[in-house]
Amino acid sequence: MIIVLVVEDVSSERELICEYLRQGGYSVIHACDGNEGLAKFELDKPDIVITDLVMPGMGGLELCRAIKKNTPAKVPVIACTSKKQEIDRLWGIKQGIDVYLTKPFTKEEILHAVQSLGG
């Protein structure tokens, strides 16, 4: 079974993403910020990571760089952020982001993004 790590500081959004993924047949682990996300990544070895970009402490881009730098296997990273916090997509891709979603997104969009990365 594919394991997806969801890193999101807003609990309602984190719960919604996790529920969408469970309904799609994925095993889900979650974290409230980038620091907790990196610890769970190292412990649980997920197949795909979905992260918010703007979080207190370690943000999603920093988490993505840490994952890509320290992992021999290329673990895909999906970045989610709101339009008001949108970053330059090309710059994000250069940081290692594989798919970029803008909030709000639908269940179909999140499942398609995971499936497109081999999930």
Give the Å distances, CA to CA, from 110 to 19, 39, 43.
11, 23, 24
The pLDDT value given to residue 115: 96
Sequence spans of domains, the chain:
3-116
The token pair that represents 31 in the structure block: 């974290």
Q: Yes or no: is domain 3-116 CATH 3.40.50.150?
A: no
Average pLDDT score over residue span 70-97: 75
Instruction: Answer yes or no: is pLDDT of 86 > 60.
Output: no
Mean pLDDT lowest among 4-13, 15-24, 98-107: 98-107
Between residues 84 and 91, the one the model is more confident about: 91
The pLDDT value given to residue 81: 81
Instruction: Answer yes or no: is pLDDT of 87 > 90.
Output: no
Average pLDDT score over residue span 21-48: 96
